[in-house]
Amino acid sequence: RKTCFRIPTGSKQWDGILNGGFQSRSINEVYGEFRCGKTQLAHTLCVMAQMPKDQGGAEGKVAYIDAEGTFRPERIIQIAERFGIDPETAVDNVTIARADNSEHQHELLTQLNENFATGEYRLLVIDSICALFRVDYMGRGELNARQQSLGLHLNRIGHMAEEFNITVFMTNQVQSDPGASALFAGADGRKPIGGHVLAHASTTRVLLRKGRGEERVAKIQDSPDCPEREATYIITTGGIND
C-alpha cells in the first residue's frame, strides 16, 4: 500500500529489525517488564513522528493516551533537542489525553476521531493498553467481560489506524505466571497480558528485556513481514538510541 509509512525508533539497530520502524495502518505492541523503556520509546516516537520526511519522519501530529500517568512533556523537549526540532512546537504537536478508567479510555477515541479527521495526525500512542482494563475487571469471574470490552476497544483502534493511515503504538505489561499457558510465552516465559484478543489485534509485537549493564534488548515476536530478530538499544536523555 503506497501511502503506508514507518516511524523510526531512535535506534538504528532497532529500526533495522523493523525494516525502518513501526508501520502505519497497523497496531504495533511492545511489551516487557518495568523500566525496560516502553514509556521512553513512546516519548521518542512522539518526536520521530514529527520529523521531516527526508529525515525519516512522518511530518505529523501525535495523539497520546496516557493510562498510567507517566507522560512527561520535559522528555519531549529533551528528545526534540537531540533531533534538532523546535522543542515548543514538538510539545504542542502532541495531544495528550489522560485516561481515568477503561470506559473513559474507550470514549477518548470518539474525540480522537475528530482530531484524526483533520488529516494532520500520523501516530496514536497508548501507554499502556491493558492497565485500566486490568483494574476495572479485577475478579477471575470478570475475565470474559474484560476481554469483550478490550476487544471492542481494539477493534475500534484498528479501524482508526486503517481509515486515517496512522501508526498505532501501544505498550503492554507482562504476566509472570509460571502456571499460565505457554502459548504466548516470549523469551524466559514472559508473556504479554491481554490474551488472544490482544494477540489477534496486534500486527507486530516486540518483547523488551534488560540486557547487560544499561543495555536493553528488543526481540520481534510476531510480525507479518519481519523475522524474529533481536536488537540492542539504550535509553538516553535524548530518548531511545543505539
Give the binding site for ligand ATP (CB under 6 A): 34-40, 235-237
Q: Answer with the entry of Mg ion, ligand ATP, none that 36 interacts with (C-beta below 5 to 8 A by kind).
A: ligand ATP
Query: Which residues on neighbouring strands pair with residue 29, listed in sequence order?
Result: 170, 205
Residue 165 or residue 175: which is nearer to ligand ATP going by CB?
175
Q: Give the distance, in angstroms, between the CA of residue 27 and the centroid of all CA atoms in the same chain.
A: 8
Shortest distance in whole angstroms from residue 37 CB to ligand ATP: 4
How far, CA to CA in Å, does 5 sit from each of 21, 85, 86, 124, 227?
9, 20, 23, 14, 19
Q: Give the residue ranges of DSSP H helices in 62-126.
A: 73-83, 87-92, 102-117
Q: Answer with the entry of ligand ATP, Mg ion, none that 37 interacts with (C-beta below 5 to 8 A by kind).
A: ligand ATP
Do residues 132 and 99 make contact, with C-beta atoms less than 8 angstroms apart? yes
Q: Answer with the entry of Mg ion, ligand ATP, none that 237 interacts with (C-beta below 5 to 8 A by kind).
A: ligand ATP
Number of neighbours of residue 85 by Cβ within 10 angstroms? 18
Q: Answer with the entry of ligand ATP, Mg ion, none that 236 interacts with (C-beta below 5 to 8 A by kind).
A: ligand ATP
Q: Answer with the entry of Mg ion, ligand ATP, none that 153 interacts with (C-beta below 5 to 8 A by kind).
A: none
Residue 131 or residue 197: which is nearer to ligand ATP going by CB?
131
How far, CA to CA in Å, does 108 sit from each of 76, 77, 195?
22, 25, 23
Shortest distance in whole angstroms from residue 150 CB to ligand ATP: 18
- For cell 476495572, the residue is 136
DSSP three-state, residue 216:
strand
Residue 52 or residue 69: which is nearer to ligand ATP going by CB?
69
Residue 61 or residue 75: which is nearer to Mg ion going by CB?
75
Residue 77 or residue 199: which is nearer to ligand ATP going by CB?
77
